[in-house]
Structure 1
Amino acid sequence: MNNLTQNGYEQDMLDQPAALDAHAAQALPPAIAALDMARFDRIILTGMGSSHYATIPFELMLARLGLPVWRIQTGRLLEMPQLIAPRTLLWMTSQSGRSGEVVALVEQLSARDAVTIVATTNDPSSPLAVGADLVLPLQSGSEATVSSKSYLNTLASFYRVGAAISGEDDGKTTDDIGRVAASLSARLTATTALADGLAARILAGPRPRLALVGAGEDAATAMTGALILKEASKVAAEGYIGGEFRHGPMEIVGAGATVLLFGSGKPEDVTLTQLARDLVGTGSLVLSLAPDAYPGTEHVPLPNANMLERLAHAMVFVQQLSLGLARGSGLVPGKFLYGQKITSQV
C-alpha cells in the first residue's frame, strides 16, 4: 500500500477533496455567470499543460451549443496573434497566472480594447488576473510540485461555468462538486493496491512505455495523465485524443507497452471500442478506465453520476499509479529533477 504521507505531492493529492469543497463554497462571479457567449465572434480557450487540457470538456460543450470556439495552446497564440480578432472572448487558464507564455500574451494584449479576457487562476494578484477583465478564482490553495488540486479545481470551475451557461442552478452544480469531493475522499484513503500492482507490471515489461488515449471529455484525462506520469514518475508516457493513436503511435504497441483507455466503455464509442479490439492481440497491457470496459481489456471501473465525477476519479487513479511507478524506479514521487512548479521561461 502506498503511504500518502511522504511528500508535498502526496499531501496535495490527499487535500484534493478539501480544495474542491473550497471552490464550491465560493460564489460564482456574477459577471461570469451572466456572460453572453453568443455576442462574441470567436471564443478562444488557451493555456499551457494541464491548465489547457482541463478546458477540453468546456470546449466540447461550447461547440455542441453551436458557438465558435477554438482551443489553442498559448505558445501557438504567441506565434499567431492575428487569431485574436476584435470581438474575441479570450479565456486564459493558468494555475499560477505567471506562466511565461501567458504573461507574454497578456502583455501583448494590454492595449486591445476590443478583446475580452477572462482568467481562470489560483492567484488573484498574478499578471494574468491583473490583466484580465474577469477572474474566476480556483481556490485550490498552494501546491508543492506536480498539479493535482489545481487540475481538479480547474475541471470543477469549467463544469460550473458550463452549467451556468446552460441555465442550470448553481446550487445544484455545487452540490455535485461536493458529492465528487466526498467520493474522492474514499478513493484516496482506500488501498492503492490496484495502482501499485499495475505499476509493478508496467516496470517489469521490456522497454516500459505508456500511451493514454481518451475520447470526448475524457481526452482531458489522457492528455493530463500522460503529463503527470512524466512529471511525477519520469516514465515514457504520451497522451492521445481518439483515433490519432492509429496515425503512427500504434507502432509502439506490443510487449512492454501499456495502453490506458479513457471514455465510456460503451459500444457507442466506436473509435475506442475498435482500438481496444485491435490492441488486445498485440501483447500490450490494455486497461479501460471507464464506467464500462472496452472489449477484452482489464477494467478499472469509474463512477459516472456526472462527467466531473468520472474525470476526477480517473485522474486520481493516474496519480496513484504515478506513486507506484516512481517508487518502483527508486524515485521520490513528484520531485522535479530539471523543471520547476511555475514555468516562467517562454
Structure 2
Amino acid sequence: MSDPMIKDIKSQPKFLNTILTKYFDNPKYKKRLTEVVNYIENNDTPILFAGMGSSNYAAISAINILSNKGYLCLNPDIDEFIHYQMNSINENFTVIAISQSGKSAETKKLLEKLSDNTTIISITNDEDSPIANMSNFVLPIFAGEEATISTKTYTNSNYLLNIIAHLVDNNDSFDIQKQLDDIEIIDDFISQEKNAVHNLYNHLKSKDKWSFISRGDLLSTTFMGSLICQEGTGIQPTGYSGGAFRHGPLEITGENHGAIVFAHGDHTFNLLMKLTEEMAKNGSKIILLTDESYNNKSDNILLNKVPIVNRLLLPTIYAVIIQLFTRETALNRGRIPGVLNKISKVTEEE
C-alpha cells in the first residue's frame, strides 16, 4: 500500500530547520521578519488572526504568547465572520492571514472585504498566491510540497507564528542553538514513536467515541489532530479544551469512550489530570501524552511520555504523535494514510 504520509511526517524536522535558516541567516527574509515584529510592536491595534482548518488552529499558541504580553488577539471562525461579523472591525485592526495554500476561499474573501488601509500580514507556503498578493507583509512558511493531509504545513505555520509572537517585545532573546537542539529531539522522537504508536491505537481501537482534550498552547495541536484524524481515518473524533469537555461531553465517558489527553506540565496540568482520572474512573480508555511526571494508578490510562522541548516547539512534538496515530488508524482501517477521497487538499470555494 502506498504511504506518502510517513514521508511528510518524517520530513518535518528538515523543514523546521529551514524556518531558522531562512529567517535568521538569509538577509531578505530576516528583514521581512524584523519588519513584521517591529510593526506589531509599534502599532497598538487589535490583531485578527484569519485562517481555516489547521491554519486557524495553528495560531492558538501564538495568541497565548501575545495575549500574555498585553496584545488583544481574536481568532474567530472566518467562515462565519465574513458573513455575520464584518462590521465589528475597521482599518485599525491588523490582520494576520494564515493559509498554507494562499488560496483558502474564506480567508481570501475576508481580505477582499477589508479597507485598503488595513495592514495585512500573510503566513503562507506560496509567496505568489492570491492571499500573499493582497498582503503588506508576506512571511512564507517554507514547508515544501505536502503530499497528504496537513502535517508539515501545520507545524511550520505554528512554529513561525510562535517565533513572531516570541520576538515581539523580546527582540534580543532567541536562542538559535536551543531551537536546533530541540528540533533534533523531535527528529529522534518521530523514529521512536513510529515504532510505539500501534500500542496507542490498540488502546482505543474498540471504542466508538473518541475525544481529544487539552489546554493552553496544546489546543493548537488538539484541534488540528481532531481535524486530520477525521480526514484521514473516516472516524469522527472531537477536539475539546478541558473546561469545555467538562461542560456536557463528560457525560459520554464510559466503556464505549476513548480519549487522548495532551498534557504539558504547565499551571493547568493538575486540572487535566483531575479530568483524566475522572474519565478513567467512569470506564473510558485514556491515552495520556505528557512531558510531566505522573504516577499512573489506572489500567484505563496508557501513559506515553513526551520529551521536553521549548515552548515554541511544544505543539509540534505533540503533533507528530497525533499524525502517527492518524496514520496507524488509517492503515488498520484499510485506508491509504493521509489521502483524501472526497475533497481536495485546498478549499477554494465556500
TM over 0.5: yes
Q: Secondary structure at the match of 2:103?
A: coil
Q: Secondary structure at the match of 1:96?
A: coil
Cross-structure match for 1:94: 99
- Count of residues in correspondence between the two structures: 337
Out of 152, 155, 159, which is 1:152 matched to?
155
Cross-structure match for 2:236: 236
Cross-structure match for 1:66: 70
Q: Secondary structure at the match of 2:338?
A: coil
Cross-structure match for 1:264: 264
1:344 lines up with 2:340 in the alignment: no
Counterpart-to-counterpart distance in 1, 2:182 and 2:266: 22
Q: Secondary structure at the match of 1:341?
A: coil
8 Å CA contact 2:155–2:316 kept in 1: the answer is: yes
Counterpart-to-counterpart distance in 1, 2:340 and 2:230: 10
Out of 296, 311, 316, which is 1:312 matched to?
316
Counterpart-to-counterpart distance in 2, 1:117 and 1:85: 12
Out of 6, 10, 15, which is 1:14 matched to?
10
Structure 1 residues 22 and 95: alpha-carbon distance in aligned structure 2, compared to 1, 3 A threshold:
same
8 Å CA contact 2:261–2:288 kept in 1: the answer is: yes
Cross-structure match for 2:275: 275
Cross-structure match for 2:132: 129
Deviation at 1:125, TM superposition (A): 0.6
Counterpart-to-counterpart distance in 1, 2:121 and 2:178: 24
Structure 1 residues 200 and 224: alpha-carbon distance in aligned structure 2, compared to 1, 3 A threshold:
same
Out of 106, 119, 124, which is 2:122 matched to?
119
8 Å CA contact 1:214–1:220 kept in 2: the answer is: no
Structure 1 residues 156 and 266: alpha-carbon distance in aligned structure 2, compared to 1, 3 A threshold:
closer
Paired AA for residue 249 in structure 1? P
Counterpart-to-counterpart distance in 2, 1:267 and 1:175: 27
Structure 1 residues 170 and 148: alpha-carbon distance in aligned structure 2, compared to 1, 3 A threshold:
farther
Counterpart-to-counterpart distance in 2, 1:294 and 1:63: 33
Paired AA for residue 239 in structure 1? G
Deviation at 1:268, TM superposition (A): 4.9
8 Å CA contact 1:93–1:119 kept in 2: the answer is: yes
8 Å CA contact 1:291–1:302 kept in 2: the answer is: yes
Deviation at 1:38, TM superposition (A): 5.7
Paired AA for residue 127 in structure 2? P
Counterpart-to-counterpart distance in 2, 1:38 and 1:340: 40
Counterpart-to-counterpart distance in 2, 1:107 and 1:267: 41
Deviation at 1:193, TM superposition (A): 3.6
Unaligned runs of 5+ in 1: none
Counterpart-to-counterpart distance in 1, 2:150 and 2:188: 20
Cross-structure match for 2:26: none
What percent of counterpart residues are identical?
A: 25
8 Å CA contact 2:193–2:321 kept in 1: the answer is: no
Cross-structure match for 1:197: 199
Counterpart-to-counterpart distance in 1, 2:312 and 2:174: 16
Counterpart-to-counterpart distance in 1, 2:295 and 2:53: 28
8 Å CA contact 2:179–2:310 kept in 1: the answer is: no
Counterpart-to-counterpart distance in 1, 2:12 and 2:327: 16
Counterpart-to-counterpart distance in 2, 1:88 and 1:146: 32
Q: Secondary structure at the match of 1:34?
A: helix
8 Å CA contact 1:78–1:101 kept in 2: the answer is: yes
Cross-structure match for 1:81: 86
Superposition TM-score, scaled by structure 2 size: 0.90
Paired AA for residue 247 in structure 2? H
Deviations 1:269-297 (A, max 9, x none): 34313212211111111122111238654
Cross-structure match for 1:216: 216
Structure 1 residues 103 and 36: alpha-carbon distance in aligned structure 2, compared to 1, 3 A threshold:
closer
Cross-structure match for 2:22: 26
Cross-structure match for 2:27: none
Out of 146, 159, 164, which is 1:161 matched to?
164
Deviations 1:223-271 (A, max 9, x none): 1111111112222211011200122222222113211111224675343
Counterpart-to-counterpart distance in 2, 1:51 and 1:180: 23
Deviation at 1:6, TM superposition (A): 3.9
Out of 104, 118, 127, which is 2:109 matched to?
104
RMSD: 2.0
Deviation at 1:129, TM superposition (A): 0.3
